[in-house]
Structure 1
């Protein structure tokens, strides 16, 4: 029997991205049983757009709620409590589900051992350098389907931009942690679903296109938040073990007595290492422009593979975004380490 599906979407000042999202929701086939929007205190015309969509949507029941308490976790929980479907499918107000999204997303739930299903995040066509960079380096999804039963710093966590959870299971584990406004709350939910004995299936067939950040400030704020959440997740779900990211290889040692996650492969750290080594032997500073040239070649190759037409200068802009994002994430990890008492460097 096909489960009843409620789509839940938290919304905050989303007037820029909502038109494409609403058009995508209206084109879903099959249509969901209901769509629950939770306006999290918007100050633009978001609420009016949602009310107009609710009045005109012919194929699904549309509910528009208000939630004055700020935070995506709070808003999602409010929407999930109002949902009546067997399955709650989460996406965001800057996302455009493909027409067959729900059909592919609920299919793995025919297995009673599967508690949630995550789909593939893609990118809408980018309009500028920052958006093009994010489409290449942010929330990159694997191409192969997989079944997960455990969260680690490297695997098993999925963003709520494309995630369906059995409603009963979602309520049983307590929903999203409302102490966290944003960043990390989705991976934390995944970890608690595993702890409850459920598996999460990742299926690339369920596609959602994401409208990425368009300004450098917004992209860096997001990267800092991602980095900060790493230490919080370590405190909650990794009591011990070493997780070491090196260039081209990652190493895990479960027997390490303390929880420690070191990302030594990030481009900002490689550049800083070359700069520091140059103080010991100045000819090593010559490697810095060579490293920058290699980054330019790498981002150019990725852009060509995605069919992105960028100028020579635009590709240097991608290099700048890559270094800036890595630095923002590193700062977030360091700040999170101090705040949450877990070494995440």
Structure 2
């Protein structure tokens, strides 16, 4: 197998333990050490990450970049601007890529180099009901947007913690939009790529395990911010001369709330379904808040 050179880009903010776990996983990739680099972008963390980086410097080709706190989108763009790789692979500091992660991306990109390639995200915190519910929502969205193209694996949405793209295409797209929130920047990039005719291919074999600790307040805030991000996403589409994304039909929501039961969560299904309902309330509240804030400006 040919091994193209990858630049793995990871934005981070004040999560040294999670970042260390991510780097540990990257040190165990089934991929030649001299065929990938790791670019960490510190998004204005209040603590130094130098010690964490130094612990893994002997095992990984790591570059640490720093910027004032501007959000993960701008951090990813900064990382990409320093990248040497033919291809870019994006993940987050609270993610643990599987050993075959980069190998799976490489195999697909060698066949379809002009496509965006997304992998599967698996919840690593099955005991955390909020993390479970949040990941189940992503699973549902991946299934929903991919259901018409099961043979080609063509889809229309990847999250920013598990996808790969050629550096040339990423630069031609202009990178991620300047979203300060960790919300909708991935959706907007995918939408822009599709508009320009690029295909998106989903390969579930490219696994990352997501260890995002959430409590009830954090769960609400996450989905509230997704709602705020949706307003910026629609504004970005308007700036490109496109219409707003239309609300999904009612079966979308009915199937969403039934999804935990269909996925075999048994006694936890009612609670998860209730949290999925809460996520949609938080999302709508975030949309309302952002519209009101924009109106005041």
Q: For each residue in 1:137-176, what CA deviation from the matched residue of structure 2 results, as whole angstroms up to 9, or x when unmatched?
A: 345443856454xxxxxx6121110011110111122111
Distance 2:259 2:225 in 1: 26
Matches within 5 A, 1:1-345: 1-31=2-32, 32-44=35-47, 46-54=49-57, 56-57=58-59, 60-111=60-111, 114-138=114-138, 140=140, 141-142=142-143, 144=150, 146-148=152-154, 156-237=156-237, 239-240=242-243, 243-248=246-251, 299=260, 302=263, 304=265, 317-338=271-292
> Structure 2: where are the runs of 5+ without partners?
none
Higher relative contact order (CA 8 A, sep 6+): 2
Secondary structure at the residue paired with 2:156? coil
Distance 1:100 1:14 in 2: 25
Query: Please, what TM-score do these two structures have when normalized by structure 1?
Result: 0.72
Contact 1:134 1:213 (8 Å CA) reproduced: no
Q: Which has the larger radius of gyration?
A: 1
Distance 1:317 1:304 in 2: 10
Distance 1:72 1:242, change over 3 A: closer
| Higher share of residues assigned helix | 2
Contact 2:179 2:185 (8 Å CA) reproduced: no
CA shift, 1:187, in A, is 1.6
Distance 2:162 2:197 in 1: 21
Which 10-residue stretch deviates more, 202-211 or 18-27?
A: 18-27
Query: Please, what TM-score do these two structures have when normalized by structure 2?
Result: 0.82
Contact 1:106 1:117 (8 Å CA) reproduced: no
Distance 1:204 1:67, change over 3 A: same
> Structure 1: where are the runs of 5+ without partners?
149-154, 250-263, 268-294, 306-311
Distance 1:38 1:246, change over 3 A: same
Distance 1:34 1:173 in 2: 22
Distance 1:145 1:12, change over 3 A: farther
Kindly report the root-mean-square deviation, in angstroms, between the aligned alpha carbons of the 2 structures: 3.0
CA shift, 1:16, in A, is 4.0
Distance 1:194 1:223, change over 3 A: same
